[in-house]
Amino acid sequence: MPGVANKDEPKTGAMVSLDRQSMASSPVTERLRVLITDDNTINRKLLRVVLEAENQVVLEADNGISALQLLEQTQVDAIISDILMPEMDGYRLCYEIRKNPKLRTLPFIVYTASYTSPSDEKVALQFGVDKFLRKPASSEEIVKSLHEVLASAKLRARDDVQIPEEAEAMREYNQVLVRKLEDTIVDLSEANKSLAERSALAEFVATISTTLAEANGLREMLQRCCDAVVEHLGSAFARIWTLNEEKNLLEPQASSGMYTHIDWGHARVPVGQFEIGLVASERKPHLTNTVIGDPRVHDQEWAKREGLVAFAGYPLLIGDQLVGVMATFARKPFGQNTLDAMGSVARSIAVGIQRQLVEAEVNQNLDRIRALHEIDLAITSTLDLPTVLNVLLEKIDIFLPFPAATTIRLFNPVTGRFENTACRNLDEQEWKPGSGRGTGQLSSEFLKTKRPVIIPDIQTDPQKKTSEFFRKHGFVSYLGVPLIAKGNAVGILGFYTKEPHEFTQQEIDFLTTLAGQAAVAIHNARLYEETERRRREAEELARVARSLTENLDPTVVGERILTSVRDLFGVQGSTLRLRQADGSFQRLASSGDVFSQTSEGDTVPSGVGLTGRAIAEGNPVWSPDILNDAEIGLTAEMRDYQLRSGNRSMIIAPLRSHEKLIGTLALSDRTGRTFTDNEVALLQAFADQAALALENAQLYEQTERQLRRIEALREIEKSITSTLDLSTVLNVLMEKLDI
């Protein structure tokens, strides 16, 4: 009956330990012939080395049938045989030898790696095996066993060998085969299970590797990794956090399984708190297949309710540097192979995170450089300040997605206030009236520190630094960046969001750089604006000078003065008054929206109102609100008339010619308007030219009047001398008296 061979046995693993010292001390002196029967070539070679070192002659066969055929042709002194072989196994070989009268006493050693149990040994001995050795055995043990069976064979008579009955032998043999078959089936089942597990884990690792290589962006990469953990490992859910070093927080990036959201109540985990934070702080995995009762799993009721059994949390490390944490819960225990696979991919994911972060930072820096370059080109392509501000806001809106609104407030050195100048995504008509209401706490902070100011939540800010306008419109987070040029704050660049936004240091650095560029552009635009203003002023003064000398009629000159000054200063109204002999100031001309200061309309008494201050100080004086200026004395009548005017901002310059006060030039504009030192100086220069023109016109008018009188006297004289008629003389005198 042929033997049963199981080729899944690891034959090549049955090695022999070669002990040269034991072989050298062997007591055998005559050469013996030993037959080695084994279907594994390597095993036969190893035994040959051992036996030939003992000066033995070695014969080989690869199965039981070959061994029997060899025994029919030659004589051997002993057999060393494996059990599991094709065609005829070791059990059957031994049985056939013991049945053969010529071979019955032949020493037989079993050397096996497959049949190693005590019951296997018992059956072998029942079949007539002399020695049962389990692989691997040392060379010393092999040689010693050979000596023992040879010595026993010399003392044993042929008839002493017990041959089992064939039926009994076959029964025992079949039981061994059945048992071995059952063991093999179990082994195959375990092997298949292990193979399936290894295949699943290999696919899991391959999926992670592919994801890390192909994913576009950090969130996508980590989400696909979480999906792979749930899909391939059967986890209930999996999550991955990345470390925010600045805040020492673990921020969720991906979640898969029973929970897919990453914005739950305690999404951000402080390092060192809860099971996830402890994995991060300790920088070593936390692995358990007994979630219930694990003190590090703080929500035991939730774990029981969800039927969770196992937890695995791995720090994502690059050397000693922590970049995040990967964690997963499961409803069945994790095997060691699964844990090893997760540990392996955790290292790969850490590298992937680091690569994504570096790539994102590089791309972000490139984008910011391009944005700064484009913004710089845009805002330096013009010197018109409103255009500069509008282009700046437009480019910010393109390159920065998070602000819901952006504002620019420029500092007015005359008033010492930041004034609302330009905005984006706001109702400008509603926002701008807030300009010039005071420096305020926030503005004072900018002037003092010249550093960015962050308000995480405008709505709940206890210091109430921002205006009610932004709270009313639902803005939440605020970042204000000072515009610094030549060491001075020229303005504030403000960013507002309608969702809570934590401004990162990278964002603040970028916006500070942007603000620096903008400040330079604004400074240059203001310089250009100032230069252009002075050029226009000079041209206007020259034009006015020419215009005022083109006509010598005082009324016409006065009207031209007022038209020119309104255009030059952009005011609502202007009034020219000349000093009278009694010291009062009578209106010569007016232009625009002008309210009289007195009931008489044309005359202002000497020493009262803003006129009195201008005359007393000898310089232009102004007030943003003449009605509420405590330093300006107004009569009840003047105050009543002033209430009717919406233009309560006034400036008055004295008109002097040759150190002689001849009148005043007054400008009026919207309440609250301020006048810069340059505007005050310009008005005085204009007033000096106007005074000269008026004086010339007055001199011309006086000269013309004198000439007319002389001509009248000449005609009277001529009439008197040409007639002696009294009535005629009287008529001529009456006619010329008006002259």
- Give the pair of three-digit tokens for residue 165: 């009955």
Query: For residues 733 and 387, which has the higher predicted lDDT (pLDDT)?
Result: 387
Amino acid of residue 614: A
- Alpha-carbon gap, residue 419 to 417, rounded angstroms: 6
Q: Which of the four pLDDT bands, split at 50, 70 and 90, describes residue 441? A: low
Q: What is the DSSP string of 684-726?
A: HHHHHHHHHHHHHHHHHHHHHHHHHHHHHHHHHHHHHHH---H
Q: Which of the four pLDDT bands, split at 50, 70 and 90, describes residue 255? A: very high
Query: For residues 265 and 592, which has the higher predicted lDDT (pLDDT)?
Result: 592
pLDDT at 28: 45
Q: Which of the four pLDDT bands, split at 50, 70 and 90, describes residue 22? A: very low
The yes-or-no verdict on residue 561 having pLDDT over 60 is yes
Is residue 65 within 8 A of residue 76, CB to CB? The reply is no
- Alpha-carbon gap, residue 305 to 254, rounded angstroms: 23
Is residue 587 within 8 A of residue 601, CB to CB? The reply is yes
pLDDT tens digits along 61-71:
999 999 999 99
Query: For residues 213 and 17, which has the higher predicted lDDT (pLDDT)?
Result: 213
Which 3-state string (H, E, C) describes 495-510?
EEECCCCCCCHHHHHH
pLDDT at 201: 84
Query: For residues 386 and 607, which has the higher predicted lDDT (pLDDT)?
Result: 386
Is residue 519 within 8 A of residue 487, CB to CB? The reply is no
Among 518, 707, 695, 690, which residue's Cα sits nearest to residue 620? Answer: 690
- Give the pair of three-digit tokens for residue 547: 């215009």
The yes-or-no verdict on residue 18 having pLDDT over 60 is no
The mean pLDDT of 655-681, rounded to a whole number, is: 83
pLDDT at 46: 94
Highest mean pLDDT among 345-359, 364-378, 662-676: 345-359
Q: Where is average pLDDT lowest: 12-26, 108-122, 399-413, 545-559? A: 12-26
Query: For residues 480 and 9, which has the higher predicted lDDT (pLDDT)?
Result: 480
Please, what is the average pLDDT of the chain?
A: 81
The yes-or-no verdict on residue 48 having pLDDT over 90 is yes
Is residue 251 within 8 A of residue 274, CB to CB? The reply is no
Among 581, 570, 577, 661, which residue's Cα sits nearest to residue 619? Answer: 661
Among 633, 624, 631, 689, which residue's Cα sits nearest to residue 656? Answer: 689
The yes-or-no verdict on residue 83 having pLDDT over 50 is yes
Q: What percent of the chain has pLDDT over 70?
A: 84
Angle at 537 between CA 533 and CA 539, to 5 degrees: 115
Question: Which domains does the chain show, CATH number per domain?
Answer: 11-164 (3.40.50.2300), 199-362 (3.30.450.40), 383-531 (3.30.450.40), 549-703 (3.30.450.40)
Among 414, 382, 378, 428, which residue's Cα sits nearest to residue 398? Answer: 378
Amino acid of residue 640: D
Query: For residues 465 and 385, which has the higher predicted lDDT (pLDDT)?
Result: 385
| Secondary structure class of 120 (helix, strand, coil) | helix
pLDDT at 1: 37
What residues contact residue 86 under an 8 Å CB cut-off, 6+ apart?
A: 3, 5, 7, 39, 63
- Alpha-carbon gap, residue 622 to 669, rounded angstroms: 11
What residues contact residue 559 under an 8 Å CB cut-off, 6+ apart?
A: 589, 591
Angle at 401 between CA 397 and CA 403, to 5 degrees: 70
The yes-or-no verdict on residue 401 having pLDDT over 70 is yes
| Secondary structure class of 89 (helix, strand, coil) | coil
Q: Which helix (H) or strand (E) holds 394?
A: helix 385-399
Phi, psi of 392 (to 5 degrees): -60, -50
pLDDT tens digits along 311-358:
999 999 999 899 999 999 999 999 999 999 999 999 999 999 999 888
CA torsion angle for 67, 68, 74, 78 (degrees, to 10)? Answer: 60
CB atoms within 10 A of CB 216: 8
Is residue 458 within 8 A of residue 470, CB to CB? The reply is yes
Q: Is residue 649 packed enough to be buried (19+ CB in 10 Å), middle (13-18) or exposed (0-12)? A: buried
The yes-or-no verdict on residue 276 having pLDDT over 70 is yes
The mean pLDDT of 417-433, rounded to a whole number, is: 85
pLDDT at 11: 39
- Alpha-carbon gap, residue 453 to 95, rounded angstroms: 97
pLDDT at 224: 93
Say which DSSP state 13 is in: G
- Alpha-carbon gap, residue 494 to 406, rounded angstroms: 6
Whole-Å CA distances, 413 to 4, 417, 488, 491, 566: 105, 7, 11, 11, 24
Q: What is the DSSP string of 211-256?
A: HHHH--SHHHHHHHHHHHHHHHH--SEEEEEEEETTTTEEEEEEEE
pLDDT at 44: 94
What residues contact residue 529 under an 8 Å CB cut-off, 6+ apart?
A: 383, 384, 385
| Secondary structure class of 553 (helix, strand, coil) | coil
Is residue 512 within 8 A of residue 492, CB to CB? The reply is no
Query: For residues 186 and 266, which has the higher predicted lDDT (pLDDT)?
Result: 186
The yes-or-no verdict on residue 597 having pLDDT over 60 is no
User: How many Å from the N-terminal Cα to the C-terminal Cα in the chain?
Assistant: 165
Q: Which helix (H) or strand (E) holds 423?
A: strand 417-424
Query: Ramachandran region of residue 87, left (φ > 0), alpha (ψ -120 to 50) or beta?
Result: left
**HSE-up of residue 228 (Cα within 13 Å, Cβ side):** 27
pLDDT tens digits along 145-183:
999 999 887 766 555 556 666 666 667 777 777 777 777
Query: For residues 540 and 131, which has the higher predicted lDDT (pLDDT)?
Result: 131
The yes-or-no verdict on residue 366 having pLDDT over 70 is yes
The yes-or-no verdict on residue 555 having pLDDT over 50 is yes
Query: Furthest-apart CA pair in the chain: how many Å?
Result: 206
Sign of CA dihedral 549, 553, 555, 559: negative
pLDDT at 76: 94
Q: What is the DSSP string of 275-322?
A: HHHHHHHHTS-EEES--TT-TT---HHHHHHHT--EEEEEEEEETTEE
The mean pLDDT of 94-99, rounded to a whole number, is: 89
pLDDT at 162: 62
Residue 321 Cα to chain centre, angstroms: 19
Number of H helices, E strands in the chain: 21, 22
DSSP bridge partners of 250: 243, 269
Among 695, 697, 696, 694, which residue's Cα sits nearest to residue 553? Answer: 697
Is residue 615 within 8 A of residue 661, CB to CB? The reply is yes
Amino acid of residue 297: V
Q: Which of the four pLDDT bands, split at 50, 70 and 90, describes residue 595? A: low
pLDDT tens digits along 284-318:
999 999 999 999 888 899 999 999 999 999 999 99
pLDDT at 161: 58
Q: Which of the four pLDDT bands, split at 50, 70 and 90, describes residue 737? A: low
Omega prior to 386 cis, within 30 of 0? no
pLDDT at 164: 62
The yes-or-no verdict on residue 510 having pLDDT over 50 is yes
- Alpha-carbon gap, residue 607 to 610, rounded angstroms: 9
Alpha helices in 400-553 (DSSP H): 428-431, 440-449, 468-472, 505-548
The yes-or-no verdict on residue 5 having pLDDT over 60 is no
Angle at 366 between CA 364 and CA 369, to 5 degrees: 110
| Secondary structure class of 521 (helix, strand, coil) | helix
The yes-or-no verdict on residue 716 having pLDDT over 80 is no
Count of positions (residues) in the chain:
739
Q: What is the DSSP string of 624-691?
A: S-GGG-TTS---HHHHHHHHT-S--EEEEEEEEETTEEEEEEEEEESTT----HHHHHHHHHHHHHHH
Query: For residues 451 and 433, which has the higher predicted lDDT (pLDDT)?
Result: 451
DSSP bridge partners of 322: 317
